[in-house]
């Protein structure tokens, strides 16, 4: 049995409705942008996770972050490799592990993806203070290492 009050349940329901509404708006904007960048959502998700300022993640790490099967990630990595955006490189300490490294073209497309997503997000309507507050709250609600 839940110890949640009716008022608390309604508040959470209202929050989720708003959350999904903002997500739908963001998804609509994202769909147009991805078409212009000639990317699918799953390909964009891989690019988003490959931060060139950090150590290149292993294929297993990326599959885990995307909550997908490693074979699905292999398919996506193949598509990005064919487009000249990604290379698989052996880990220097364990050659059985493959790390995903952006090429200069991949880094450029990733930068456009991020810039355009930031420019189109409905969250840009919030003041910087509201954005900071939302960031704090969502960080508290998120699982570790999200």
The verdict on residue 5 lying in a domain is no
pLDDT at 145: 67
Domain residues for 106? Answer: 14-140
Q: What is the number of domains present in the chain?
A: 1
Per-residue pLDDT tens digits for 67-95: 999 999 999 999 999 999 999 999 999 98
The verdict on residue 128 lying in a domain is yes
The verdict on residue 145 lying in a domain is no
The verdict on residue 108 lying in a domain is yes
CATH at residue 61? 1.10.10.10
pLDDT at 91: 92
Per-residue pLDDT tens digits for 26-65: 888 888 899 999 999 999 999 999 999 999 999 999 999 9
Report the alpha-carbon angle 88-60-108, nearest 5.
45
pLDDT at 27: 87
For 36, 47, 115, 126, 134, the CA distances from 138, given in Å and listed in that order, are 30, 22, 21, 15, 6
């Amino acid at each position: 049995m839940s110890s949640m009050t009716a008022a608390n349940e309604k508040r959470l329901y209202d929050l989720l409705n708003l959350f999904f509404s903002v997500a739908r708006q963001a998804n609509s904007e994202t769909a147009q942008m991805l078409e212009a960048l000639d990317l699918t959502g799953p390909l964009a998700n891989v690019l988003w996770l490959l931060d060139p300022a950090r150590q290149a993640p292993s294929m297993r790490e990326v599959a885990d972050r995307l909550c997908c099967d490693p074979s699905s990630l292999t398919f996506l990595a193949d598509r990005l490799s064919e487009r000249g955006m990604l290379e698989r490189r052996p880990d220097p300490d364990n050659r059985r592990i493959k790390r995903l490294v952006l090429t200069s073209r991949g880094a450029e497309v990733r930068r456009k993806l991020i810039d355009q997503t930031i420019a189109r997000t409905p969250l840009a309507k919030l003041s910087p203070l509201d954005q900071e507050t939302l960031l704090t709250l969502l960080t508290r609600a998120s699982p570790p290492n999200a």
